[in-house]
Chain A
Amino acid sequence: MFSAAAESFLRQAREIHEEELRRFAGRVSALLQGPEPGAEAAEGLRRLHLTVAATKYPRRLDGRFVELLQTVLCSPKSPEQVQVLCAAILREMSPCNDLILRCDEIQDTKLLSLVSSVLLAQGNKKGEVAAVGQRVVKVLEGRLPEGQSALLLLPVLANVINLSPESLTEEQTDAVSRKLADWLRYASTQQGIVQPSGGFFSSPRTKQPAPVTEVDGAIATDFFTVLSVGQHYTQDQWLNVQAFSMLRNWLLFYGGQEGKAPNPDDKPGMDRSVTSMVSTTSTSSRLLPPKEHLREKAFEYCQRLIEQSTRRPLKKDDGDLQRACLIEAVTIMDIICKQDSSYVYRAVSFLKILHGRICGDATYARALLPIAQFFLNHSTAIEIFHLLLDLPCLTAALDIQLRAAALPTSEKATSDPAVKPATCLEAFRHPLYKSTFQHFLRTKSAPEDTPESLIPLRQLLGSLAGNPRVVQCAETVPVLLELFFRVMAESADGSLINQLVVLLLQRSDQLYEIPTFKDDVYRVLSSQLAMLCKLHPALVVELSTEILEFSGAVSNIQSKEPIFTHVVWAVGEYLSVSYDKRCTVEQITRFFETLEAVLFEITQLRPLASTPSCAPRAISVLMATLTKLAARSQDLIPRVSMFLSKMRTFVQSPAVTSVYCEEDLEEILIRATELMNLLKMPSVAQFVFNPPMDVASTRLQREVNDSLPLALRMVTHLLEPAPGCTPV
């Protein structure tokens, strides 16, 4: 289709010499400055446009000519076609150094839109984007010229916020948010009327405006949306379409609260959303601040769209739009729920019904993705967590399933239940293991009925640990886990965090038996545990039973050292009345006694054969945590001090020196001494270990928390001055 003629034309345009171009521009210039630039001027501008556009390297046009283009663009006397062509040339040339165009004084929306397209093409070196944004908002807020509407300006605004969202002030975004909410919710539900064009002598037949219909022809009984159908449309209905088309990005940039920190005192999400469901009704939402008002209207709009998108359209092409609307609506709901979790309750029930309705329909397959994303973001976190940890097992199981299917029928018989399977393939056909396989290969979610016999199967599947697919899968799991927790950090409430922590502790010994995989997963889980505790410190009190059980088991130190260490650290950090008023002295004492027993067992002078040798880090963290607890409940101090003073004997005992290396023992001793010294000044210890609830309060406390060893060293120096200095 791009014929040889067109190809040669393009080549000509490229090869035009500068002199010829200059002369041609001069001719066009004369035409433009003439009384009525008409078709000939337009034709000349078109050729100029091609010449400029045809080369990658810039064509130099005379500065005065470029200025003329801008003047003609802005002049009300210029025909529209000429204006459009001038703008096209200026855009094609951009960035222009000689641009004198400004939008500050332009009132006419059509011209403002055209000039904005040139300004936005310059690249924002001189703040053009902000200037356009400011002007557009000003015109939108003010009284528009006769016969004009905001219609041409909304796309400009949408472009501005995509390029530079900080161009608008909060006041301005609030003002626009109010308008958007009105356009979304209150567009007319009557069809537009065509002006009768019968001429002077014909009598206009004033037809009654008909109501808009749905895409399936039914009369619409609710507010107007993009899926409303009419013969002709009114201005406010067009604005409705524009407003919805830019809604997602608007909410993304301006719908959230700035610097909203998660509130640890919040009740679990369910309660909060129920109460707000009662208080926020359509009539009262007008009194809400603009952000919340728009959020409410946007949510209602999305609900309506979802309802409309499952009607059977009369025009087949509307079906495509229905699906696009569905995807958009779910995405917007997801954004709204992230910005205000009180909407989650309403959204989840709604989307569950929708999912049920469309999941069998192949034409709606694409819409399932945002729905799945929504559920992932807001409710099925636990199942996903299980799935992630089981991914390598699943890969192995799938591999076996494939191999088993490929076997000849003779070998497919069920194996003897009395004989223990030697290979995975045998296990696949073994009646005892069959249900376990089915659990891994399940297509429906079922975290509750986890069979007990998963552990032996995991061990059996360990023989596939070298399988390249399994290896690759195992390598991706830590990355996916980090991503998972990042999402959780943003959206999980207290109750979900608690569930995750409990699962973390439970599943830490139910992992696929590959050493590297376990190490990597432990590494991720332990750092994420610290993050979860930071987000929701009260979990230490709320989950005290589980944590006591976990930290009291000495075997955990050896098999899951990173997790154990972080759990003990968390107890030391957050088991305090300043983080949770329900923390009692009894609880502190109970934790103290449990951890003291553990530390006692692992620091015996004559260790039994059964005593595990532990990472020195575990010993350090246990000592530190016991000290912290004692600082909070001061009658525990003598017990800790006595314990710490025994550490010297511990590190010097021959049975111990053969197990640990010298540097580690020295570190342990230094740490024990420092902690002991700190406890000699209980009030200082309390200050250091009990930051007020607003954790990042003083810089000193932040620094102390970050560099506790340094602080301890400082205190030690104060108490044990170097020889030769006598305290004053």
Chain B
Amino acid sequence: MVWAFVLLSPGGQAGQAGQAPCRVLYARAFGTSPGTPLGGPRQRLRRKEQLLVVARQVASQCQLLQSSLGRLSSPQLPQLPDEPVSLQDAPGGLFQMPPGDPFPDRVTVVWLSVLALACALVCDPQENLSLAEITLRRLAPRLLISLRLLSPGAGVLLRPDAADALLDRLLPHGQMLFLNERFLQAVDRELGIKASR
């Protein structure tokens, strides 16, 4: 199953002056894995910390990728049209996290770098990872639009309902969906997102 979805800002690279820390911008967990201490603030704290660990790991993968490609993270936002951009070539990857660190069971994290942000899915290792990748590549551009991630300001933090609405269609209760392009267009129509091309 998919345990969580995380949208994060990887922050600046280590060693750079004025580096920003890695921040979780939006996260959605789909249940508590067995073995988590139940009840009270400790359960919530554990959840937040687990998601932060995932985010940091994704962030370091993004930064590694950036530095290996020789690109510096730029603070300026590119001006892009108001449409879901095709992120077919956006870099991404996957890695495993061993049992106990930070989740009780082993998990596989599939991640995607989206302009200067990143998003990730935390899955069981036996999950269909090709589908996870497809799901992320669909969520990412739509999140860009719905959360107005391309415009400056704190919009991303203040629209949990927009993110929820997207996830409810493309990853309802953590269920990845085998949607072909036409189904996806139908989803876009319902959400009022202008389809690309």
Interface residues of A (CB under 8 A from B): 1-3, 5-7, 9-10, 13, 42, 46-47, 49-50, 53, 56-58, 81, 84-85, 87-88, 91, 93-95, 97, 113, 116-117, 120-121, 123-125, 129, 152, 154-156, 158-159, 162-163, 215, 226-233, 241-242, 244-246, 248-249, 315, 317-318, 320-321, 323-325, 327-328, 331, 366
- Cβ–Cβ contact A50 & B178, under 8 A: no
- Cβ–Cβ contact B38 & A124, under 8 A: yes
List 9 A-B pairs, Cβ < 8 Å. Answer: A2-B117, A58-B44, A123-B36, A231-B182, A233-B183, A233-B186, A241-B178, A241-B183, A318-B180
Nearest first, the 3 closest Cβ-Cβ pairs linking A and B are: A2-B9, A162-B1, A155-B172
- Cβ–Cβ contact B40 & A331, under 8 A: no
- Render B65-77 as a binary contact track against A, CB cut-off 8 A, 1 for contact: 0000000000101
Residues of A within 8 A of B159 (CB): 46
List B63-91 residues whose CB lies under 8 Å from chain A.
Answer: 75, 77, 88
Using A1-B116, A85-B160, A159-B1 as known contacts, say yes or no to A94 and B178 having CB atoms under 8 A apart.
no
- Cβ–Cβ contact A57 & B45, under 8 A: yes
Residues of B within 8 A of A93 (CB): 44
A59 to B: closest C-beta gap in Å: 10
Instruction: Answer whether residue B152 sits at the interface, using C-beta atoms and an 8 A cutoff.
Output: yes
Residues of B within 8 A of A123 (CB): 32, 36, 38-39, 43
- Cβ–Cβ contact A1 & B117, under 8 A: yes
Residues of A within 8 A of B28 (CB): 91
Residue of A nearest to B197 (CB): A315
Residues of A within 8 A of B41 (CB): 57-58
- Cβ–Cβ contact B45 & A56, under 8 A: yes
Task: Kindly state the separation between the CA atoms of A290 and B184 in the bound complex, as whole angstroms.
Answer: 32
Of the residues B23, B149, B181, contact of A10 by C-beta under 8 Å = B23
A-B interface contact total, Cβ < 8 Å: 172
- Cβ–Cβ contact B44 & A94, under 8 A: yes
Residues of B within 8 A of A56 (CB): 45, 48-49
Instruction: Answer whether residue B191 sits at the interface, using C-beta atoms and an 8 A cutoff.
Output: no
- Cβ–Cβ contact A6 & B157, under 8 A: yes
Of the residues A2, A5, A49, A158, contact of B173 by C-beta under 8 Å = A158
Interface residues of B (CB under 8 A from A): 1, 9, 11, 20, 23, 25, 28-32, 36, 38-41, 43-45, 48-49, 75, 77, 88, 115-117, 128, 130-131, 133-134, 149-150, 152-154, 156-161, 164-165, 168, 172-183, 186
- Cβ–Cβ contact B131 & A328, under 8 A: yes
B53 to A: closest C-beta gap in Å: 12
Task: Kindly state the separation between the CA atoms of A233 and B177 in the bound complex, as whole angstroms.
Answer: 15
Of the residues B20, B39, B116, B133, contact of A95 by C-beta under 8 Å = B39
Residues of B within 8 A of A321 (CB): 134, 178-181
Using A2-B23, A230-B182, A331-B128 as known contacts, say yes or no to A241 and B177 having CB atoms under 8 A apart.
yes
A172 to B: closest C-beta gap in Å: 18
Residues of B within 8 A of A125 (CB): 38-39
Of the residues B30, B150, B161, B172, contact of A81 by C-beta under 8 Å = B161
Of the residues B9, B130, B174, B186, contact of A1 by C-beta under 8 Å = B9
Residue of B nearest to A232 (CB): B186
Contacts beyond the supplied A9-B157, A13-B157, A94-B44: 16 A-B pairs with Cβ under 8 Å? A3-B75, A42-B161, A46-B159, A81-B161, A88-B160, A93-B44, A123-B32, A123-B43, A124-B38, A155-B172, A156-B173, A158-B174, A163-B32, A320-B133, A328-B131, A328-B178
Name, among A152, A246, A320, A331, the residue most crowded by chain B CB atoms within 10 Å (CB to CB).
Answer: A320
Residues of A within 8 A of B175 (CB): 154-155, 158-159, 242, 245-246
Task: Kindly state the separation between the CA atoms of A6 and B116 in the bound complex, as whole angstroms.
Answer: 14
A26 to B: closest C-beta gap in Å: 20
- Cβ–Cβ contact A84 & B40, under 8 A: no
- Cβ–Cβ contact A3 & B115, under 8 A: no
Residues of A within 8 A of B32 (CB): 121, 123-124, 163
Residues of A within 8 A of B43 (CB): 94-95, 123
Task: Kindly state the separation between the CA atoms of A463 and B116 in the bound complex, as whole angstroms.
Answer: 55
Residues of B within 8 A of A158 (CB): 1, 173-175
- Cβ–Cβ contact B131 & A324, under 8 A: yes
Using A123-B32, A318-B181, A331-B128 as known contacts, say yes or no to A6 and B154 having CB atoms under 8 A apart.
yes
- Cβ–Cβ contact A245 & B176, under 8 A: yes
- Cβ–Cβ contact B25 & A5, under 8 A: no
A284 to B: closest C-beta gap in Å: 29
Of the residues B9, B31, B150, contact of A121 by C-beta under 8 Å = B31
Residues of A within 8 A of B130 (CB): 320, 323-324, 327, 366
Using A9-B157, A324-B134 as known contacts, say yes or no to A159 and B180 having CB atoms under 8 A apart.
no
Residues of A within 8 A of B150 (CB): 1
Task: Kindly state the separation between the CA atoms of A514 and B88 in the bound complex, as whole angstroms.
Answer: 51
- Cβ–Cβ contact A2 & B161, under 8 A: no
Task: Kindly state the separation between the CA atoms of A317 and B135 in the bound complex, as whole angstroms.
Answer: 12
B80 to A: closest C-beta gap in Å: 12
Task: Kindly state the separation between the CA atoms of A50 and B173 in the bound complex, as whole angstroms.
Answer: 21
- Cβ–Cβ contact A7 & B180, under 8 A: no
Residues of B within 8 A of A246 (CB): 175
Task: Kindly state the separation between the CA atoms of A315 and B186 in the bound complex, as whole angstroms.
Answer: 15
Using A46-B160, A158-B173, A315-B181 as known contacts, say yes or no to A95 and B44 having CB atoms under 8 A apart.
yes
Using A1-B117, A2-B20, A57-B45 as known contacts, say yes or no to A159 and B177 having CB atoms under 8 A apart.
no
B185 to A: closest C-beta gap in Å: 9
